[in-house]
């Protein structure tokens, strides 16, 4: 065992031993003063210790918080305010890790105050609700939930962005609510408008799609004018799709609130949907529960009058994902290589267009999700084995090719 350095010093310098108590007291005073200054600095800067281990591991720091009237709050004071609301909307830019960690930290802190809470999410579509229930209850694992819900086919953003939130929900038995409208309907409306739906499809639409005020229309027109190709150059179909999303998610949230009186719901959605004039206003038409709107990112500052709070956080990024560099298409027979990205790892290894992928790292592949799940935590430089059946078909024996991910 190593001896205490202070004791070694006192043995070497006996004449200073009489000054030791005063020196120790002075050091203690300095440490105490430093702690006070740190607390004051942290309060001023809005710093806060992470509530969730995932956020702590990712290097999360509390964001600056602005209020709609131009004021400022620290993060814990924000959560104190949110705890007074039954519905809390927290926006996001889908590809921002820091935004999702901010969401997680709000959920973690609210849960610590009152565990009667649910998380409602744009990134799962309503038909996937049974799979989310089974996941939270521990009846299926994460991979099974992602396959069954069609996450990779219907949302496609890197699941690692959302994984900490879903893991926290499962670990704490927090209900997950699938909010979004099935993409089969929204895609058809985007192409043909609501008039192009069948009678049966129109019967499934949420009520209130005709409630459009001038402000909502003008905001979406400005968005459309920046990217007119999103809805084949037709603003009216673009508007109908946005209305379908906002109204459909509001209706799903309202039904959940009615079925679970007294439970708080945190709604996670893109900033454009979380704006007061988006989902919140349409939810208020169905349920008058007290709510708050938290937006994220400097680009949303212009819309702060359409919300209550704005979070501004330092960007955090996921570790780079290891990529095969292929475009895939699925059919009843499995997964085929449809093409290659620039500098494709698979192409460099000898995989060719129209080859069928049978397995990756020994795991059988039946669909797009299977490939994504095998690669979920792979990094550039990792090597995976890819078993393929050449484009010639079953007459050619399957081959295994080692691919170094890029």
Question: How wide is the angle at C-alpha 117 spanned by C-alphas 180 and 156, nearest 5°?
Answer: 30
Q: Which residues are registered as beta bridge partners of 337?
A: 328
Q: Report whether pLDDT(100) > 50.
A: yes
Q: What is the pLDDT of residues 121-176, one digit of tens each?
A: 999 999 999 999 999 999 999 999 999 999 999 998 999 999 999 999 999 999 99
**Mean pLDDT rounded to a whole number for the chain:** 88
Domain boundaries, the chain: 5-45, 53-312, 326-404
pLDDT bucket at 300, cuts 50 / 70 / 90:
confident
Q: Which CATH class is domain 53-312?
A: alpha beta
Q: Report whether pLDDT(397) > 80.
A: yes
Closest by CA to 390, choosing from 355, 351, 346, 352, is 355
Closest by CA to 109, choosing from 167, 57, 50, 175, is 50
Q: Report whether pLDDT(18) > 60.
A: no
Please determine, looking at this structure, whether the domain spanning 326-404 carries the CATH number 3.40.80.10.
no
pLDDT bucket at 298, cuts 50 / 70 / 90:
confident
Contact 155/94 with Cβ under 8 angstroms?
Answer: no
pLDDT given for residue 308 in this prediction: 97
pLDDT given for residue 393 in this prediction: 62
Q: Which residues are registered as beta bridge partners of 87?
A: 265, 291
pLDDT given for residue 394 in this prediction: 60
CA distance 176 to 117: 9
CA 89 and chain centroid, separation: 13
């Amino acid at each position: 065992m190593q001896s205490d350095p202070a004791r070694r010093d006192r043995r070497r310098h006996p004449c200073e031993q009489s000054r030791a108590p005063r020196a120790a007291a002075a050091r203690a005073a300095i440490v105490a003063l430093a702690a006070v200054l740190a607390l004051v600095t942290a309060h001023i800067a809005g710093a806060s210790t992470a509530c969730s281990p995932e956020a702590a591991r990712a290097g999360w720091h509390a964001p600056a918080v602005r209020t709609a009237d131009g004021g400022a709050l620290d993060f814990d004071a924000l959560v104190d305010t949110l705890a007074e609301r039954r519905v809390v909307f927290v926006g996001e830019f889908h590809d921002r890790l820091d935004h999702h960690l901010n969401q997680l930290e709000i959920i973690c802190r609210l849960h610590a105050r009152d565990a009667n809470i649910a998380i409602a999410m744009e990134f799962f579509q309503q038909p996937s609700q049974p799979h989310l229930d089974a996941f939270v209850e521990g009846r299926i694992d994460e991979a099974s939930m992602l396959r069954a819900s069609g996450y990779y086919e219907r949302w496609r953003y890197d699941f690692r962005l959302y994984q900490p939130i879903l893991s926290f929900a499962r670990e704490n038995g927090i209900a997950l609510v699938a909010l979004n409208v099935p993409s089969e309907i929204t895609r058809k409306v985007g192409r043909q408008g609501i008039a192009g739906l069948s009678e049966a499809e129109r019967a499934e639409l949420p009520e209130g799609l005709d409630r459009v005020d001038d402000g909502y229309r003008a905001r979406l027109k400005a968005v459309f004018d920046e990217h007119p190709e999103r809805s084949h150059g037709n603003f009216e179909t673009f508007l109908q799709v946005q209305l379908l999303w906002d109204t459909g998610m509001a209706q799903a949230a309202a039904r959940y609130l009615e079925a679970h009186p007294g439970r708080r719901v945190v709604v996670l959605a893109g900033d454009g949907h979380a704006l007061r004039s988006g989902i919140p206003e349409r939810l208020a038409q169905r349920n008058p529960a007290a709510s708050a709107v938290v937006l994220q990112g400097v680009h949303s500052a212009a819309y702060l009058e359409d919300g209550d709070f704005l979070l501004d956080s330092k960007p955090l990024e996921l570790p780079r994902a290891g990529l095969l560099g292929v475009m895939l298409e699925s059919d009843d027979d499995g997964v085929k290589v449809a093409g290659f990205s620039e500098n494709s790892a698979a192409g460099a290894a000898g995989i060719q267009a129209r080859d069928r992928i049978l397995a990756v790292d020994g795991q059988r592949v039946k669909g797009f999700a299977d490939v994504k799940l095998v690669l979920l935590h792979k990094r550039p430089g990792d090597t995976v084995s890819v078993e393929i059946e050449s484009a010639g078909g079953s007459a050619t024996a399957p081959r295994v090719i080692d691919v170094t991910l890029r």
